[in-house]
Amino acid sequence: MNLRMVLLMRPVGTHVVNESNTDWIGDIGSAGNPPYRRGIHPGMYKDKIWTMRQYAGFSSPRKTNQRFRKLLDSGQTGISVAFDLPTQLGIDSDDPLSIGEVGKVGVAIDSIQDMRLLFDSIDLGKISTSMTINAPATTLLALYVAVSDEKGIDRADLSGTVQNDILKEYISRGLYIYPPEHSIRLTTDLMSWSKDCTPKWNTISVSGYHMREAGCSASQEIALTLSNALYYTRKAIESGMSIDDFAPRMSFFFACHNDFIEEVAKFRAARHLWYELVEREFSPNNKKSSQLRFHTQTSGVTLTAQQPINNAIRVAFQALSAVFGGTQSLHTNSYDEALGLPTENSVELALRTQQIIAEETGISRFVDPLGGSESIESLTNEMISESNILIEKIDSLGGSMECVKSGFQQKMIHESAWEHLKSVESGEERIIGVNSHVENDSPEFEGLVLDPTAEREIVSSLSSFKESRDKQSIENALSRLRNCCRDGTNVMESIISAVKVDATVGEVNKVMREEFGTWIAPSGV
C-alpha cells in the first residue's frame, strides 16, 4: 500500500507530531492577511467576540419560540433553528409518513402561520438566524422572507444562514429528496436570488460536521468539506455567477472533537487550504471570496450516556479548541444530549460555558495565541498536506458529485468509523465512563420529556389552517411554481408567493417532487 492510500485511510486520532521537524518554520503570516492561517480578522476576538449561536428546536413553534427568547435573555447572540424530520424532508405534519416524528428532533414548520409563531416578538432585522435545512432550503428561506416582509423588514437587512448543503446529505446524513442535478439547481437558485435580494444572507453552509459525526477523521473532514465547496463553487459559476457574486457569503460548518491540539490545527489548516484552493482556481478580486468563515458545534458523538455530567467538561474543552482555532460562531452541546433533548438547565450551562471562555479566561485578548507553537504549526502543515492529497484524489475521480454517485466518500467514512469503533472496543482509545473509570452505579438523569399530545395538537392546528385558506389562490401559485421548475426560471420568488397565500411546505415540495423526481444515494457498503 502506498503512502497516498495510507493517508486516505488513516483513522481518527493517529497523527504523530514530530516536534523536532521544523519544516514549518517561516512566515506563518498574521491574522487578517492571506493565507488566513491565523484568522480572517486582524483583531479577531479583541474586536468582536464570536457569535454564541445555540441550536434549538422541539415540539411546536410556540414552545421553541419560548426557548429562543429564554436563550436570548440569557445572553445568546444568534438563533439557530433545528427542524423536525418531516420538515427536513419537505412533508407536512399530517402526512402519513410523518407519524411519530412530528416535533421530535426539532420544531415542526408546515406553513407561514408556524413561521410567524416561531419568531414572535423577535426582531428579524436585528438578530442573525441560522436554519439547519437542506433539501427544502428554498421553502424555509421563502417562509422566513415572507414573515419578514409582513413585519416590514427590508430584505437587505436580513442576516443569517441556510445550510443548503445537499452533498453531505447524500454522503452521510440521508435527508435529501431530489436527484443530484435538480438539488444543485435549487442550491444555485437560492444563491443567485440571495445575491440580489438578501445580500447579508449566507446562502450555503458547507458542512463537515455530519461527515465527522458519521465517522471520518479530522483530515478527511477538511478534505470532504472543501471538495464539496469546490463543487458548489464550480456549479454556481456554471450557472452564470462570478466567484465574487457568492463566495463572500459562503460559510462552513465543522465539528469539534476531543483531540484538543488536532482540532485547533484542523481549523487553521482548513482556513489556509481553502485560501490556496480558491486563489489557484478562481482568482477572485474580492479578498472575502477566499476567506473561510465557519461555525463550530461541539461533538454529539463524543457525549456519553454513562456519567453524563462528564460531558460538560468535554464540551468546555471542545469549545476552547474551537476558539483557539478562530471560529466565527459556536454552539456548545448540553451535557444531557446523549439521553434526549436537552433540559433548560443543561442548555443554560452550555451557554454559560461559552460566556465563561469569552469573559473570564482572558483568551479574547490575544489573536491566535497558539500560533507559532511547534506542535500546532507542524500538525497544521501535516493536515494541509493530507487533506490536499484527498481533494486531488476526489478531483481525479470526477469531483464530489461523481464520487457520491459511486459511494466513494460513503465507503471512506464507513471504514474510518469502523476503525474508530475497534479502537474503543479494544481500549486503545479511552473514554471515561465507557471503557475507563467505569462506575456500576451511576446517578439517574432525566432528559427533556416531550408532551405526548403535542403531535396531535400540531396536526389539528394544520388541519384547521388548511380548511381556512383560499384554495384557488394556492392552486394558481403552485401552478406558477410548476412552470418555473419546467422552464428553468429561478424558483425563489414563486415559492415566496406560494407561501404568502398559505401554501404549505409539503405542498410546495410535492410540486417539485412531481417535476424533479426523487433519488437514492449509494450507501458505499
Give residue 428's pLDDT band: very low, low, confident or very high (50, 70, 90): very high
Nearest to 387 by CA among 293, 276, 287, 244: 276
What gap in Å lies between CA 208 and CA 224, rounded to an integer? 7
In the chain, the amino acid numbered 280 is R
- Write the pLDDT tens digit of every residue in 319-356: 999 999 999 999 999 999 998 888 889 999 999 999 99
- Beta partners for 78? 53
What gap in Å lies between CA 213 and CA 232, rounded to an integer? 22
Task: Phi first, then psi: give them for residue 216, nearest 5 degrees.
Answer: -75, 165
Cell numbers describing residue 334: 448540553
- Write the pLDDT tens digit of every residue in 30-73: 999 999 999 999 999 999 999 999 888 888 999 999 999 999 99
* Position with higher pLDDT, 7 vs 48: 48
Average pLDDT over residues 266-283: 98
Would you say residue 503 lies in a domain?
Answer: no
With H, G, I as helix, E, B as strand and everything else as coil, classify residue 309: coil
Strands 329-331 and 250-256: unpaired
What 8-state DSSP symbol labels residue 59?
B
Is residue 383 a contact partner of residue 218, using CB atoms and an 8 Å limit?
Answer: yes
Chain-centroid distance of CA 253 in Å reads 5
Cell numbers describing residue 456: 396531535
Cell numbers describing residue 183: 438539488
> For position 77, what pLDDT does the model report?
86
Distances (CA, A) of 382 to 22, 376, 379: 12, 10, 5
Nearest to 303 by CA among 317, 284, 322: 317
Nearest to 289 by CA among 40, 13, 2: 40
Is residue 188 a contact partner of residue 138, using CB atoms and an 8 Å limit?
Answer: no
Strands 329-331 and 128-131: unpaired
> For position 15, what pLDDT does the model report?
57
Chain-centroid distance of CA 132 in Å reads 6
Q: Both ends of the chain: CA-CA distance in Å?
A: 21
> For position 498, what pLDDT does the model report?
98
Would you say residue 408 lies in a domain?
Answer: yes
Looking at the 3D structure of the chain, how many domains does it have?
1
Cell numbers describing residue 318: 471542545
- Write the pLDDT tens digit of every residue in 377-417: 999 999 999 999 999 999 999 999 999 999 999 999 999 99
Nearest to 106 by CA among 74, 61, 144: 61
Give residue 21's pLDDT band: very low, low, confident or very high (50, 70, 90): very low
Average pLDDT over residues 102-120: 96
Number of C-beta neighbours around residue 73 at 10 A:
8
> For position 443, what pLDDT does the model report?
65
- Write the pLDDT tens digit of every residue in 144-161: 999 999 999 999 999 999
Instruction: Express as a percent the part of the chain with pLDDT over 70.
Output: 94
Beta-carbon contacts of residue 510 (< 8 Å; ≥ 6 apart):
none
- Write the pLDDT tens digit of every residue in 167-207: 999 999 999 999 999 999 999 999 999 999 999 999 999 99
Would you say residue 520 lies in a domain?
Answer: no
> For position 6, what pLDDT does the model report?
36
Where is average pLDDT lowest: 24-33, 53-62, 87-96, 253-262?
24-33
Cell numbers describing residue 401: 458529485
Sheet of 204-207, strand order: 201-202, 159-162, 128-131, 78-81, 51-56, 329-331, 294-298, 250-256, 204-207
Cell numbers describing residue 431: 473514554
Average pLDDT over residues 427-442: 89
* Angle, vertex CA 350, rays to CA 347 and CA 356, nearest 5: 140
Give the residue carrying C-alpha cell 503570516.
29
What gap in Å lies between CA 11 and CA 222, rounded to an integer? 14
- Write the pLDDT tens digit of every residue in 470-497: 999 999 999 999 999 999 999 999 999 9
Is residue 112 a contact partner of residue 143, using CB atoms and an 8 Å limit?
Answer: yes
Give residue 294's pLDDT band: very low, low, confident or very high (50, 70, 90): very high
Would you say residue 262 lies in a domain?
Answer: yes
Instruction: Express as a percent the part of the chain with pLDDT over 90.
Output: 87
With H, G, I as helix, E, B as strand and everything else as coil, classify residue 121: coil
pTM of the predicted structure, to 2 decimals: 0.92
- Write the pLDDT tens digit of every residue in 201-255: 999 999 999 999 999 999 999 999 999 999 999 999 999 999 999 999 999 999 9
What gap in Å lies between CA 499 and CA 469, rounded to an integer? 11
> For position 290, what pLDDT does the model report?
98
CATH number for the domain harbouring residue 121 = 3.20.20.240
Would you say residue 289 lies in a domain?
Answer: yes
Cell numbers describing residue 508: 410546495
Average pLDDT over residues 125-146: 96
Strands (E), 42-87: 51-56, 78-81
Domain hosting 319: range is 34-426
pLDDT of residue 11 exceeding 50? no
> For position 524, what pLDDT does the model report?
73
Would you say residue 49 lies in a domain?
Answer: yes
Would you say residue 352 lies in a domain?
Answer: yes
Would you say residue 489 lies in a domain?
Answer: no
Where is average pLDDT lowest: 18-27, 105-114, 244-253, 514-523?
18-27
With H, G, I as helix, E, B as strand and everything else as coil, classify residue 56: strand
Distances (CA, A) of 329 to 51, 77, 120, 128, 500: 4, 10, 24, 11, 32
